[in-house]
Amino acid sequence: MRIRRDYSGEMAALNSWGANTSADANKINWMAIDVAISRWGKYQRGSVLKCVHRWWDTAERKKRWGQSESNICTLCNLSVETSDHVLKCKHEEMVKVMNQLLHEMKNKIKSCGTYPLLQKNKLNSIEIFS
**In the complex, which residues of this chain contact Zn ion (CB under 5 A)?**
73, 75-76, 89
Measured from the CB atom, is 25 or 94 closer to Zn ion? 94
Measured from the CB atom, is 11 or 73 closer to Zn ion? 73
Shortest distance, position 56 Cβ to Zn ion, whole Å: 13
Among candidates 84, 78, 79, 88, which has minimal Cα distance to 54? 84
Shortest distance, position 80 Cβ to Zn ion, whole Å: 9
Q: What is the DSSP letter of 2?
A: P
Task: Name the residue type at position 96.
Answer: K
Measured from the CB atom, is 63 or 106 closer to Zn ion? 63
Are 50 and 38 in contact by the 8 Å Cβ rule? The answer is no
Q: What phi and psi, each to the nearest 5 degrees, are found at residue 72? A: -85, 140
Shortest distance, position 84 Cβ to Zn ion, whole Å: 11
CB neighbours of residue 96 within 10 Å: 10
Q: What phi and psi, each to the nearest 5 degrees, are found at residue 94? A: -65, -40
**What is the rounded (10 degree) CA torsion for 78, 87, 126, 101?**
120
Measured from the CB atom, is 28 or 76 closer to Zn ion? 76
Shortest distance, position 101 Cβ to Zn ion, whole Å: 16
